């Protein structure tokens, strides 16, 4: 582990009211003593109390760099469990860089991405799942993702894993003790208890894995594609959801030739929406490319919104789109309900089992029903967040799947009447795999890879 002193800009490097330059390490106080002067030049910050704020100036030798406020925090009661100094300077790009350059000139080195949080993990202040939650917190796209990251940051995942590991370790210890001292510790009837313990562990992990798709959606959003014939109202729907005119809307069929992508938030749900070219048979080469692209994107989407112009009769193009939506999560919107209807809900329901909603984008009718239907399809209508832990990290999901396999192997060994030492092998595998989620027994390459995803200064 590197123990030298690091520094970085902890806020966005742009023109703002305030920027923060953070320093962490054994030389944080000597560095600030060399570059800071109070108004009356009567303070040595290394001699001041921890967690205090001081007004003064940053100097590069005898040249004033900036007027600042400096926060000093002594180890171990800090984010990294090292001495930390934070310089609150003016937020201009040039002045912030100059303050950082002065810090580096007097003994610090530039921090690697995520190195402050990495040190917090390596120094035992947080576990690895909490460290990853810090990154998720910064990148949260909606309130659900934010609150899930906060739950993990508070140690919800750690507590859950700790509980599972304690249950597994208790059984391993009993087996090992019984094998070492069979005269005093009997394994008679133990397999029934072990089976019940594994059933409880499998139930907990299985719920996590079942909810992992919701976790992915919470973190990344729902990949949503809008499809339909030309002039059905796809681009108008996109503009309505975005709240501005992002797509060109005309009466000319085939106006949209390529995809348009937008991210929107509806009642806490993030939709990554792709508006596509109208699907129809055409001899236009460019439009054909757009139509083919629309078909491909529809096959990869989490949710398809099929917009039908209810003022015109269904045709072969609509039939093709019905085929595209088979076995896919789809909401069908019968648009232009303000006009004379040529397509009824009953007619469409004979062709598909997908939910059908009548809307009018012109009159803003039926769109609340659409939002509620999205909630029903992905969150069973409940998006009030609770204290459940959701897996939003692919590394965690893979680890839990490996734990499930190990526990299934134990059950298979019990059913086959295998010797008890066989149970210990798979139980220990499950125990160690759970440990890797929170950072126990992980190699340096994995740790480095995780923290490379962080932003500078965090």
User: Is 112 exposed, middle or buried (CB count within 10 Å of its CB: 0-12, 13-18, 19+)?
Assistant: middle
Q: Tell me the CATH architecture of domain 6-127.
A: 2-Layer Sandwich (3.30)
CATH 3.40.50.300 fits 218-379, yes or no: yes
Neighbouring C-alpha atoms within 13 Å toward the C-beta of 298: 27
Tens digit of each residue's pLDDT (9 = 90 or more) over 49-73 = 999 999 999 999 899 999 999 999 9
Which residue stretches of 211-247 are H helix? 212-220, 234-242
Alpha helices in 246-359 (DSSP H): 285-300, 316-324, 345-349
Confidence of residue 254 (pLDDT cuts 50, 70, 90): very low
Q: Which residues make beta-bridge pairs with 341? A: none
Q: What's the mean pLDDT in 435-442?
A: 83
Percent of the chain with pLDDT over 90: 33
Could you tell me if 29 and 72 are in contact, meaning their C-beta atoms sit under 8 angstroms apart? yes
Count of CB atoms situated within 10 Å of the CB of 233:
24
- Homologous superfamily of 130-211+391-438: tRNA modification GTPase MnmE domain 2 (1.20.120.430)
Choice between 73 and 372, residue whose per-residue pLDDT is larger: 73
Domains 6-127 and 218-379 share a fold: no
Give the residue with greater pLDDT, 151 vs 386: 151
Q: Is the pLDDT of residue 24 over 90?
A: yes
Q: Is the pLDDT of residue 253 over 90?
A: no
- What is the band of 258 on the pLDDT scale with cuts at 50, 70, 90? very low
Write down the pLDDT at residue 279: 56
Q: Residue 279: phi, psi to the nearest 5?
A: -85, 120
- pLDDT band of residue 29 (cuts 50, 70, 90) is very high
Mean pLDDT computed over 419-444: 86
CA separation for the pair 74, 154 (Å, rounded): 23
Instruction: Indicate the pairing of strand 36-38 with strand 356-358.
Output: unpaired
User: What is residue 165's three-state secondary structure?
Assistant: helix
Averaged pLDDT, 184-190: 80
Spans of all domains in the chain: 6-127, 130-211+391-438, 218-379
């Amino acid at each position: 582990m590197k123990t030298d002193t690091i520094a970085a800009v902890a806020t966005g490097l742009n023109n703002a009211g305030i920027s923060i330059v953070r320093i962490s390490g054994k030389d944080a106080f000597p560095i600030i003593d060399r570059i800071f002067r109070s108004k009356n030049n009567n303070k040595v910050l290394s001699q001041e109390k921890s967690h205090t704020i001081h007004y003064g100036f940053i100097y590069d030798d005898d040249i004033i760099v900036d007027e600042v406020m400096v926060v000093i925090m002594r180890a171990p009661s800090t984010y990294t469990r090292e001495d930390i100094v934070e310089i609150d300077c003016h937020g201009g790009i040039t002045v912030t860089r100059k303050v950082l350059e002065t810090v580096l000139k007097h003994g610090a080195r530039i921090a690697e991405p995520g190195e402050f949080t990495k040190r917090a993990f390596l120094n035992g202040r947080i576990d690895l799942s909490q460290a990853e939650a810090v990154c998720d917190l910064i990148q949260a796209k909606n309130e659900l993702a934010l609150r899930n990251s906060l739950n993990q940051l508070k140690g919800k995942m750690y507590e859950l894993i700790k509980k599972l590991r304690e249950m597994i370790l208790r059984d391993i210890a009993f087996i090992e003790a019984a094998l070492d001292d069979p005269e005093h510790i009997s394994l008679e009837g133990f397999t029934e208890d072990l089976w019940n313990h594994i059933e409880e562990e499998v139930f907990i992990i299985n719920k996590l894995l079942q909810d992992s798709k919701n976790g992915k959606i919470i973190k990344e959003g729902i990949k949503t594609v809008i499809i339909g014939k030309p002039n059905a109202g796809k681009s108008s729907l996109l503009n309505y959801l975005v709240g501005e005119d992002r797509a060109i809307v005309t009466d000319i069929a085939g106006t949209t030739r390529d995809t348009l992508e937008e991210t929107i938030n509806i009642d806490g749900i993030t939709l990554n929406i792709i508006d596509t070219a109208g699907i129809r048979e055409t001899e236009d080469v460019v439009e054909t490319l757009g139509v083919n692209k629309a078909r491909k994107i529809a096959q990869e989407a989490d949710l398809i919104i099929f917009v039908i112009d209810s003022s015109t009769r269904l045709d072969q193009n609509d039939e093709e789109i019905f085929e595209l939506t088979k076995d896919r999560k789809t909401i069908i919107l019968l648009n232009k309900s303000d006009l004379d209807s040529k397509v009824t809900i009953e007619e469409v329901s004979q062709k598909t089992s997908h939910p059908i909603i009548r809307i009018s984008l012109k009159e803003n009718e039926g769109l609340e029903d659409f939002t509620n239907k999205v909630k029903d399809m992905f969150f069973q209508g409940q998006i009030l967040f609770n204290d459940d832990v959701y897996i939003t990290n692919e590394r965690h999901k893979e680890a839990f799947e490996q734990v499930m396999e190990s526990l299934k192997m134990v059950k298979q060994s019990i059913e086959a009447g295998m010797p008890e030492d066989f149970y210990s092998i798979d139980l220990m595998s499950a125990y160690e795999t759970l440990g890797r989620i929170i950072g126990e027994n992980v190699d340096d390459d994995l740790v480095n890879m995780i923290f490379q995803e962080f932003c500078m200064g965090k």
